[in-house]
Amino acid sequence: MADTPFKDHFSKQAAAYQTYRPHYPEALFRHIASHVSRHEMAWDCATGNGQAAHGMVPFFDKIIATDASEKQIEQAAPHRQIEYLIAPAEDVPLQRQSMDLVLVAQALHWFDWPKFYDEVRRVVRPGGLIAAWCYGIAHITPAVDTVMNYFYREIVGTYWPAERAHIEANFNTIPFPFQRIPTPDFAMTAEWKMIHLAGYFSTWSATQRYKEAHAADPVDEIRADLQAAWGDAEQPHTVTWPIHLLLGRI
């Protein structure tokens, strides 16, 4: 059994996570699936609210979606092709060589990598695939970006867990001991009003840690500046997040 402690930064805001997190593009899932020879079983590790699992449903017969957070699993939308299990990344109740693909969306930086990679090699069929990706801070408009970056670095910056540095490095600092497959650039986009961006800030682990330390909402410190930069709060803006994908053959 794995003895790696679970770093739970998201259970408290699981409902907000379901509401305010952006959605991955269909092109990302299609590209990943195109590199897999069999499309029977996929494992979505650290599924959170099941977003990546749902994205891969059109391409696989069944998805096993695991997460160590019971509250996150409770927020996940059910689907007849998805089976949700509560389990840490490093110790999952999956049979040996039963999976064709492993997905890890915005979570690889939290894992005990040697133990997780051992588990990947155990459960994935030879020639199978692992796809892990992350996205960092968004781009909206120059004025809004300035306020958002100030919030990210100056207001809640000291409250980011150390693992956040791997996101800022686009996962280039994480060992990935598999046969790398070159990938094109991907991005997420959304049309958001200002209230949605503020809600998204509430899902950040640093925001939650700030609230615990100060019993106050750090978003309040930039709300006026955000309003000024945004303009009409009811006017949607295009929000874009670059995606950084690691794709490897087992």
The CATH number of residue 37's host domain is: 3.40.50.150
**CA–CA distance, 117 with 240 (Å, rounded to integer):** 31
Tens digits of per-residue pLDDT, 195-213?
Answer: 999 999 999 999 999 999 9
Residue 3 lies in a domain: no
Residue 232 has pLDDT above 90, yes or no: yes
Confidence band (pLDDT; 50, 70, 90) for 2?
very low
The chain-wide mean pLDDT, for the chain, equals 93
Question: Any residues with CB less than 8 A from the CB of 6 and at least 6 apart, and which?
Answer: 68, 69, 88
Residue 151 lies in a domain: yes
pLDDT at 1: 41
Residue 90 has pLDDT above 60, yes or no: yes
Tens digits of per-residue pLDDT, 156-198?
Answer: 999 999 999 999 999 999 999 999 999 999 999 999 999 999 9
pTM of the predicted model as reported, rounded to 2 decimal places: 0.89
Contact 48, 72 (CB under 8 A): yes
pLDDT at 6: 54
Residue 191 lies in a domain: yes
Residue 2 lies in a domain: no
Residue 145 has pLDDT above 90, yes or no: yes
Residue 216 lies in a domain: yes
Token pair in block for residue 232? 């009409």
- Crossing angle of helices 194-202 and 223-230, in 10° steps, is 140
Domain span including residue 129: 11-249
CA separation, residue 18 to residues 28, 72, 200, 202, 226 (Å): 20, 8, 10, 12, 23
**CA–CA distance, 83 with 130 (Å, rounded to integer):** 19
pLDDT at 46: 97
pLDDT at 19: 75
Residue 4 lies in a domain: no
Residue 94 lies in a domain: yes
Q: How many CB atoms lie within 10 A of CB 58?
A: 12
**CA–CA distance, 217 with 108 (Å, rounded to integer):** 28
**CA–CA distance, 118 with 88 (Å, rounded to integer):** 13
- Tell which residue, 16, 29, 111, has the closest CA to residue 63: 29
Question: Any residues with CB less than 8 A from the CB of 160 and at least 6 apart, and which?
Answer: 205, 206
Residue 234 lies in a domain: yes
**Lowest mean per-residue pLDDT among 55-64, 65-74, 140-149:** 65-74
Q: How many domains does the chain have?
A: 1
